[in-house]
């Protein structure tokens, strides 16, 4: 017979790792795409590591579901976004060390052997990435210079306005990706493949929108702001997840509208059109969710 207190400790251990994993995933989302945009030799390798981290969240969600639990809501946190290859690799090295410490403390707290093995597997994968990062931080990879920039410049004096507009939206957009993705994991753990796929498809679409904004920011010579990322609100069941998504959309759409106002269609037509298109798409997505809730 399983001790309930031991089981609670295992659930808390798994949830603590899943909660902490949002930050490395979000930070690597930015860093891998920055490196790819710069033509850095590690761009694709870091993108593959980002995918691997996403896959490990699925493993954690399955382990949690076996205990009748799932991801928890959390507030936004700050990331450390690098400005060049050296600072990116150093930042990711520091964060990986922090995350390994979180996982190893969770292993000590976990009383179930099968779940310990899941956490130990994550720790081993992160240790392997740490070795790579430490090597790259001391090697020529840390000193590669950006190349292949493709600028579609705004009118003189408008670049900083475009930076501010994009960075006003990116944290909320990437947080929405995490939130919808976590709902997908919950439904998958419940065995509801239809809802899991629906939420996953929405998360992917939201991710592409985040990528488009990030690419524009990088094309202009800017960098993402590390403040306020990863806020996640978990709803209970299909209706709860839709309600949480609706609240997220209702915060995102006005943010997009207010962010693009200072730009105007003349000062930077490209950025203005991009943000306007994303706002329109979000309104369409919101209408679909609202219709489900009204049915």
Note the pLDDT tens digit of each residue in 173-199.
999 999 999 999 999 988 999 999 999
Short-list 213, 187, 198, 196, CA closest to 292: 198
162, 268 Cβ separation under 8 angstroms: yes
Average confidence (pLDDT) over 3-13: 77
What is the percent of the chain with per-residue pLDDT over 70, rounded to a whole number?
96
**Band of residue 8 on the pLDDT scale cut at 50, 70, 90:** confident
- Predicted local confidence at residue 2, as pLDDT: 45
Question: What pTM was estimated for this model as a whole?
Answer: 0.89
- Cβ within 8 Å of residue 248, ≥6 positions away: 172, 175, 176, 179, 233
Task: Work out the average pLDDT over 54-68.
Answer: 92
Q: What is the pLDDT of residue 6?
A: 57
Handedness of CA 186, 20, 82, 264 (dihedral sign): positive
pLDDT band at 1 (very low <50, low <70, confident <90, very high): very low
The neighbour count for residue 231, using CB atoms within 10 Å, is 20
Domains belonging to the chain, first-starting first, are 1-148 (1.20.1260.10), 149-295 (1.20.1260.10)
With tokens 């996403």, the residue in question is 54
Per-residue pLDDT, averaged over 218-230, amounts to 92
CB proximity list for 26: less than 8 A, separation 6 or greater: 79, 174, 178, 229, 230
- Flag the least confident range among 47-56, 88-97, 147-156, 215-224: 147-156
Q: Percentage of the chain surpassing pLDDT 90?
A: 82
Average predicted confidence (pLDDT) for the chain: 92
Average of per-residue pLDDT across 152-165: 82
> Could you please report the per-residue DSSP string of 195-235?
HHHHHHHHHHHHHHHHHHHHHHHHHTT-----SSB--B-PP
């Amino acid at each position: 017979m399983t001790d309930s207190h031991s089981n609670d400790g295992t659930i808390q251990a798994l949830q603590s790792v899943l909660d902490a994993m949002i930050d490395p995933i979000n930070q690597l989302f930015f860093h891998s795409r920055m490196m790819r945009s710069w033509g850095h030799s590690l761009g694709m390798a870091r993108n593959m590591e980002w995918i691997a981290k996403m896959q490990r969240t699925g493993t954690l969600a399955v382990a949690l579901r076996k205990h009748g639990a799932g991801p928890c809501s959390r507030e936004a946190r700050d990331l450390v976004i690098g400005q060049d290859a050296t600072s990116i690799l150093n930042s990711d090295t520091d964060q990986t060390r922090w995350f390994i410490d979180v996982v190893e403390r969770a292993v000590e707290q976990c009383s179930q052997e099968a779940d310990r093995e899941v956490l130990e597997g994550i720790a081993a994968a992160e240790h392997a990435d740490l070795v790579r990062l430490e090597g790259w931080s001391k090697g020529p990879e840390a000193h590669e210079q950006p190349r292949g920039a493709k600028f579609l410049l705004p009118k003189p004096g408008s670049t900083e306005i475009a930076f501010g507009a994009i960075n006003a939206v990116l944290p909320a957009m990437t947080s929405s990706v995490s939130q919808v993705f976590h709902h997908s994991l919950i439904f998958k753990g419940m065995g509801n493949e239809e809802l899991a796929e629906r939420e996953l498809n929405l998360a992917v679409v939201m991710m592409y929108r985040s990528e488009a904004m990030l690419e524009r920011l990088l094309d202009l010579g800017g960098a993402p702001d590390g403040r306020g990322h990863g806020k996640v609100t978990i709803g209970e069941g299909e209706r709860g997840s839709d309600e949480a998504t609706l609240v997220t959309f209702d915060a995102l759409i006005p943010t997009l509208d207010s962010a693009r106002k200072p730009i105007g269609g003349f000062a930077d037509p490209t950025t203005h059109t991009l943000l306007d298109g994303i706002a329109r798409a979000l309104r369409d997505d919101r209408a679909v969710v609202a219709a489900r809730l009204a049915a």
